[in-house]
Amino acid sequence: MTINDIAKKNYEWVEEMGWHNKTVLEALALVASEVGEAINECRNEKPTAAFGEELADIILRVLDIAHWQGIDIEAEINNKMLINEQRGTRGRQK
């Protein structure tokens, strides 16, 4: 599955659950809440076994917003990686 396929599949499941009742700002706040959950999984020396699941939650919430807003997130990611590569370090230390 491509990233856009995953975004569509996840969007359709969230829609089926009846959870598309938020503003974009509210949906972004839920992305932040998932980041908080991921942080909690890293409070000890090593991330817990649940860390990967929380990273997936972050991505799925972002993909849901992207699909909802008609954003081709795969193209955006590829384009941004190209911009980052061309930008180089801009003097920052590696």
Shortest reach from residue 53's CB to Mg ion, in Å: 7
Task: Give the contact letters, 6-45, x = binds to Mg ion (CB under 5 A), - = no.
Answer: ----------------------------x--x--------
Please, which residue, 55 or 71, has the CB nearer to Mg ion?
A: 55
Q: CA torsion angle for 43, 54, 19, 32 (degrees, to 10)? A: 50
Shortest reach from residue 37's CB to Mg ion, in Å: 4
Please, which residue, 3 or 59, has the CB nearer to Mg ion?
A: 59
Please, which residue, 53 or 76, has the CB nearer to Mg ion?
A: 53
Q: Cβ contacts of residue 22 below 8 Å, gap of 6+?
A: 30
Q: Give kind and range of the element (H or E) at residue 79.
A: helix 73-87
Shortest reach from residue 17's CB to Mg ion, in Å: 15
Number of Cβ within 10 Å of residue 57's Cβ equals 17
Q: Cβ contacts of residue 16 below 8 Å, gap of 6+?
A: none
Residues at the site binding Mg ion, with contacts judged by CB under 5 A: 34, 37, 54, 57
